Structures are given as structure tokens and as C-alpha cells.
Chains A and B, each alone.
Chain A
Amino acid sequence: MALSECSLEMLQYLKLKSVNELFSDIPKDVRINGLQLPDGLPEIELRRELEAMMSVNKPASSQPTFLGAGIYNHFIPAAVKTIMMRGEFITSYTPYQPEISQGMLQSCFEYQSFMAELTEMDVVNASMYDASTGLGEAVLMAHRISGGNKFLISRAVSPEKRLVAKTYAKGADITLIEVGYDKGTGLVDLPDLKSKLTDEVAGFYFETPNFFGPIETQSQEIRQMLGTRTMVVGVNPMALALLRPPGEYGADIVVGDAQVFGSPMNLGGPTIGVFGCRSEHVRKMPGRIIGMTNDLEGRRSYCMTLQTREQHIRRSKATSNICTNEALLAVATAAYLALVGRNGLREIARKNIENMRSLSSRINSVKGFKAPRFDAYHFNEFIVTSESDPVKIHKALLSRGVHGGLVLNRMFPELDHSSLYATTEMHTKQDHDKLISALEGIR
């Protein structure tokens, strides 16, 4: 391949005839001759091709979609994108040189401040990859805090998250044990929890609202039952605009996903793992933490701190291997929360509850359907049970231009004929109408 004139000058400076000489240290046995990949495309063709390839996807903007289960379709104010696409943010890296990186550092500190406020936790780190990996790390951290090689996890948690937690637990030889849910309310089955609280148990993870939608009402009792064991609470940060924060009822660790605050669904990634804990546990925490300090002129400044927990210092003794995180989404989260503000956020959260209540009661009045399945308070997600096969209903809805909820048959065989529906402020009355008339057409 032709080299530019500057490249030739550099080669001459190095007294080399060909660029191949720069690779003479690669043993002949392992050399390869180029890559068998198509030729490169100019920008105009690239855009045409990618637009065409993606055009066969059916985004939520083209059909009402009632999926949630950890990823939610919320409105994103235009200014979020303006802010997060600033070249100074998006093309920087981990702020190893704080003097020249105050923008990212302060933005992450603002993110930590917002999340500390919402969760009422003393410390929230600068982000984990997502909620599922945050949960995995929380299991390991609970083991560091409380000892014990067993960890309890509610069955009313998404199978995706439970699978990820299992992978993390395996590395530390921790056994995950499931705690059941009450068949009527979907909430934590307290007698089952109690029967499984042996001495080897490091902690317990439950969610509110949980995977099926119900908001947990027994957090205080759970806290008491756990004693000195680590209580890990999973939250939907959007719901915390209204709900009692887990810090108030004694959570040791809080995890969740702030995708709901300003990040698109993006087929599930990137999202941003929220990870908070009480201050006495901070040295056992994974991830970057941004702290406030002064520069030598006494001006308020921000830098990464407590780095002796981290892999680049402590290597195999680190609290985690995490290096790259989701900092840009922390900026988006802080920008989103600042843009909607206290009143805006509460209005959005209220709209979610209203939409849930309205949709669930409308579905309930369609013959052959019952919603919500569980007798509990809900936020924006609930289970619909149907007389006929939910897989068939799902297909029929798709053919009518509606993407129905998640069919739970395979993951939760005990929840016969159930689907998980989510609705947010993005759904209009027309979207709900379309679903209802489609359901009426199916029965």
C-alpha cells in the first residue's frame, strides 16, 4: 500500500527502505499476509449501507413496544445528546491527569451526587458496566463484608441478571441460593427467606420494584431478619423519584441501571450500572470513585481517589478488575437529571404509574386476560395472564404492528400463561388503544 510523503520522510529518518522492515521482529512462522476482508468504503457508501442494513429493524418508534425487563424506553431531551456528544467528553479517557480533565471529573462527581441523593447511599461510584455486572460485583463485595460462601437471591429477579450473578459468584466459590416469592403478591417470601438464613450466608439480594413489577413493602422486616449480613437492594432509579430510598431502610449496597435517565435502549447496551454503598464499606467497593479536593491555589477540584483498591495499583489483590467503565453515560445521566429537574422527574415517574394503572385495568377488562397478576403496588411494569397461549398472542400482536410484553413461560414455568408488560411516559393513549384493540381482536 502506498505511503504518504510524510511516512516516507519518517522511513528515511529511520534509515529503512520499506515499512515491512518495521515488522522484521515478528518470527516468519507466525507472519500472515494481510486480511481477507472487503475493501474499505467511503463515508457516503458506508452510510447508505448501514442505513439499509438497520432499516429492517423495527424500533419502538415505528411500533408500540411493551417490553421492559431491565431496559426501558423513556423520553430523552435533545440537550442530553448535545452535552454528551461534546468532543472534549466523548474523545477523552479515564482522567489520569486531573488538572486537564476537570470537566469529566466534575461531571462524574455530579452523577455521584445525584445518585447518592436518589438512593440515600453515602457513596455511589463513577459507574459499573450495567446493572447485571453491578449485581455480580455486589455478590463479591457482600462476601468481602460479611464472609460466608453462600448468597441468597430473590427469584423475582431477571433470569439474565441471575445468570450473570452466577458467573461472578462461581469465581469466588460462592453458591447462589434462590429465595422464592409470595404467590399472591409477588413479594419476597419471608418464611422462605428465614429458612435459608444459615451462618454461611453473606447476604441477600432483592429488588423493588422487582422483575414482575411489584414494589417491595417488607424491606424493614428483611433488614431485621438479615442481622449483620449484607443487604443488597436492586432499584429502578426512575422509581426512586417517588419511592422511599434504600438508604433509609438500611441497605448496605444498592445496584441498578441508570439507562432510564437519558440513555437509549440500544439493544441493551451500553447502559450504566449504578453502584452505591454505606461509607463503612467504601474500601471494599469496586470501581472508580471521584472525590473533591483542592489544587495548590486552593481552588475546588476533583480527582479519582481511593485508587489503592484498584487493579492498576493492587493487581491481583484489587477489589475488582474493572478499568473501563461507562463514564460518558454518567455525564448523560447527570445531564438528564439536571434537565428534567425535581419536578420534571416526579411528573415523569407519576406518568409511568398512571400509565401502568390505566393500561393494566384496560387489559384486565378484555375477556380472556387478567392484569396485574400480582396483588401489589406497581411502578411501570406488570404481569398479564392470558387464557390462551401467550406465544400465540405474541405472534398475533406482531402481525398487528404491536410488540407485546415478554413471554415468561420458559423462564418461569410456574407462572403459567404469563407475559411481562411495561409502559412508560412514551406511550400515548393511541398506543394503548392499539394494543387493546389488537388484544380484543385476538381473543
Chain B
Amino acid sequence: MTYHQAVHDVPLLFEGCETPAPGERFDPTLGGMLPASLVRSELIIPDLPERDVVRHFVNLSQMNFGVDNGLYPLGSCTMKYNPKVCDEIVGMRTVTDIHPLQDPSTIQGALRLMYELEKMLCEIGGVDAVTLQPAAGAHGEFTGMHLVKAFHEANGETRKEVIVPDTAHGTNPASAAMVGYDVLELPSMDGCVDVEAVKSSVSKDTAAFMLTNPNTLGLFEKDVCEIAGILHDAGALLYYDGANLNAIMGKTSPGKMDFDIVHFNLHKTFATPHGGGGPGAGPVGVKKRLGEFLPVPRITKQGEEYRLDYDLPKSIGKVRAFFGNFAVLVRAYTYIRMQGGKGLVSVSENAVLNSNYLKERLKGDFEMPFGQLRKHEFVLSGRPLKAKGLRTLDFAKRLLDYGFHAPTIYFPHIVEEALMIEPTETESKETLDKFVDACEQILKEDPELLKSAPRNTARRRLDEAKAARDMIFSWRAYQTKVQSAGQGPPSA
């Protein structure tokens, strides 16, 4: 155990920021350029030297853990290493300093990149057309559900229901609900979709079925063809949640599995960094019969010229202003060109190999429900920990002390005390072995060490209930809270 995260006491930037004396006040009317009724009386934000600001954030960054620090096996999030060449490319002025409303003749390079990225995603996804507009995976789902709605409406139908398995990501039911659908959650059988349950749930009211394959347990839904047949026979559409695409590139594709609509998480499979929560990008691909419903504008190519086509009367309109998260698209394009077709196949092979190796080494230490062969991720149950009075949470927190980010925990809900582990292809066997060693070491430790973990991180366990109770979401709120508690003004 050698990991120690930096511990800094970094005050908030606002701390010590005082209301300026009347003499120092800025004239907000700018000598009459604005009327007093339109201007604010004061703006209380700090004035600090660059040196202090840089130190502030560098010290904060040292209290944050990313893939650049170490293994980040957060299941379903595909925390792979992000190649640095992409940072260089998106830093070019020809990428950063272009405006979305520029005349198309002045952004031909950008339009070409997006056009080619669409084509490459078509090949990877086995679909006929792609929109790059959605800003994230969940936003792709939202777009997909609107496509479903537009498709049925064009056929004169108002279907009301979307079916998702109980292993689905939470975004699936949330996205369907946002587009006005009733959501039916289907119980799984042995970790996979129960075909009989699908048969008995599908009706004339079924608009779509949302599925990720491999599913969140890392199992390949072997009955996918039969499921697709049932849905299509009932006139419903099949939606592919691309969160787990990293497992299958070049081995199968959503299109080949007969999905009608698919979203791609560029920040997962295509190595664009997750940025502490975003930005991501969630392009959506569709089969030919849905192409006319895609958001505007579409990028077209006439001769050597790239153009923008807004003339799509059946389009769902727009889901985000402009073209989506362009800089993320540039990173993903760069990554795909770096890997090439063979490289992407190898990405999936190594992701699945790493996952199965890690699963095989760890499964004896935990319980592993449902089947053996996994794809890019697997789910263990921390149920055996209960005998020692411990929970999966305690184990996850103790992993932090060893310098590993914790896996996803308590998801999917159908596995008790779940630990969802996704090592990704970018980790070496050596790292995976060290992770196994740490897991085995932790299981031998005094349970109290786990309960009191973590200790080597910038903070120990947090009082999360207090955060919800106090509702302090800003420096202003903190000041108000401190003052109303009669503690006087807060100290810096």
C-alpha cells in the first residue's frame, strides 16, 4: 500500500473577498452608457493574482483522481486512457477559433471531418446515417426516443410505451419518460432479457425496446435476434444503448443485430476524456427508414464541397444548438484514425480479454451470479462481505486507499451488493494483477479498516446526509448559513 493522495486545505476563491470600499467602486453606468435602472449595484467576486489562481487549482487537481493517476475500473463508464495527441489537435486555432454560423465555404475542413466521422460511425455501428448533434449518451437516447416518436407518428400511430430491461442504465427509462413514454421495466432471467417476458409484454402500444448489448452485467444477450424479431413483428423499434460498444467492435454491430437506432458514447468507446463529468458526445445512428427524421442540419457532399441541408420536412428539428460538441468529435475522429479498422477490433479484443482475466482471478473471492463468459465488464456480488459486518461500500472505499478508483457499486440493481468492474483495454496485466493483489489483501484485513476507509485520500468519509440537509450550494449560501447560525462572519 503506497498510495497517498495530496491533502491541501484550499479555501474557496471567495474567502477573504471583501466588499470594496465606496471610493473603489466601479462606475457601472460607464459614464452614462447605461441607465442606473439597468445596472447592478455591486459585483462581489475576488480579484487575485494569476499565480494564486494557478496554485489554487493545481492544488485542487492534486486532490482529484483521473485515469492519468491510475486504474479507474468504473463499470459502464469505459475509463480508458486518453491519447494526448488529441489534446494537441483540438488546441489548433483552426479548431478552436471557428464559429458555428460561419459561411460553409470557410469551414470546409470541419464539415469534412464531421462528414467522415459520420461515415466511420456508420461502419462501426452497422447503420446507414448518423447525427453528431447530441451532446452526451443520455442526450442521444433522448434524440433516439424522439426519432421513435416521429417514426410512429408518420405512420399515423400513437404508441405509448417503451420497454427496458431491469438491468438498463437509469438514463434509458429517464430518457423515454422525457419524451412522454410510459416505461415498462422487464425483469431479467438469469441476467439476460427473458424472451417469454418480452413476448407477453409487447403489444400494439409498444413504441420501442431499449437494450444495451452486452448488457450491464457484461453478458451478451444471446437471444437478441429473437427479441428483435418479436419487436419488429409488433411494429415496434429496437434501440441500442451504445454505452457498452467497446466490447464488440468488428465482432458484431448494432445494425447487424437488427437494431434500428443506436447511440455512441464518444467519451467511452472513442477515448475522449470524461472531463470530471463532461463534455461528452452522443451521436445517434439509424437505419435507412429513419434517416429522414434525423435532426437538422445534415451535412452533405456535392462533388468536393460540403454543404448544410436544412430542408428535411420530417426532421425532429434540433436537440442542441449548432453541430453538437465539435471539439469532442474532433478527438473521436483522431482516435479512430489513429486506431484504424484493425486497431478498433483489437481494442475490443483486449477489453474483453482484460475483463475476463480479471473476472477469473477475482470471482473466487466474491460471488459471481449469472454465467461465465463476460464481455468488457463483469459484476460481482459483495454479499460474502456481510458475514464480517461489511458492505460493498466499505470494500470500495478501502480500494481508494490502495490508489485504485472504485468500481461502480450497487448497480445493476438485480445483483445484491453489486461491484461492476470494467478494466478497459488500456490497462496492462501488471496493473490488473496489482488490483487483484489489493482486493485479496483487503479481504484479509481487519474489517474495521474497511469500515473506516478511506484514510489515504484528501478526505475521509463524507456526511452526505448533512449536504442534503444544509443545502449549501454556493459561497453566498454558506455565508448566509454561518451568519444565521450566529457565528459571525466566516473566517478565511
Contacts and interface: CB of A to CB of B under 8 A. Distances in A.
Interface string B461-485: 1111011101111111110000000
B53 A140 contact: no
A326 B65 contact: no
Contacts, number: 641
Interface in A242-293: 242-245, 248, 264-270, 279, 282, 288-293
A167 B318 contact: yes
A10 B222 CA distance: 25
A209 to B, nearest CB: 10
A362 interface: no
Contacts of A268: 99-100, 321-323, 326
A50 B318 contact: no
Contact of B65 (A14, A88, A377): A88
Contacts of A320: 174, 178
Contact of A1 (B30, B325, B336, B342): B342
A140 B46 CA distance: 35
B99 A265 contact: yes
Interface in B343-396: 343-346, 349-350, 352-354, 356-357, 360-361, 373, 396
A167 to B, nearest CB: 5
Contacts of A357: 33
Nearest to A264: B96
Contacts of A113: 12-14, 474-476
Contacts of B249: 35
A99 B321 contact: no
Given A40-B343, A88-B64, A160 B92 contact: no
A403 interface: yes
B316 A89 contact: no
Interface residues of B, number: 189
Contacts of A35: 123-124, 249-250, 341-342, 344-345
Interface in A327-348: 327-329, 331, 334-335, 337-339, 341-346
A91 B67 contact: yes
A182 interface: no
A13 B74 CA distance: 24
A42 to B, nearest CB: 8
A11 B180 contact: no
A61 B93 contact: yes
Contacts of B489: none
Given A37-B336, A322-B138, A339-B50, A265 B171 contact: no
Nearest to B42: A342
A77 B141 CA distance: 36
- Most chain B beta carbons < 10 A, residue from A41, A99, A113: A99
Contact of B278 (A1, A11, A13, A324): A324
B320 to A, nearest CB: 6
Given A172-B180, A244-B39, A293 B463 contact: yes
Contacts of A339: 48, 50, 53
A106 interface: yes
A56 B108 CA distance: 6
B353 A129 contact: no
B257 interface: yes
A57 B466 contact: no
Contact of B458 (A87, A102, A313): A102
Contacts of B30: 242, 350, 353-354
Given A265-B97, A321-B175, A326 B342 contact: no
A175 interface: no
A99 B461 contact: yes
Contacts of B26: 342-343, 346
A269 B142 contact: no
A35 to B, nearest CB: 4
A122 interface: yes
A374 interface: no
Contact of A292 (B35, B219, B267, B478): B478
B34 A100 contact: no
B61 A103 contact: yes
Contacts of A403: 99, 102-103, 106
A59 B97 contact: yes
Contacts of A51: 92, 94
17 contacts: A14-B353, A31-B252, A58-B106, A58-B107, A90-B276, A95-B276, A99-B460, A108-B277, A123-B474, A160-B321, A295-B463, A312-B411, A316-B174, A321-B141, A321-B178, A324-B138, A398-B106
User: Top 3 closest A-B pairs, CB basis?
Assistant: A40-B340, A268-B322, A103-B64
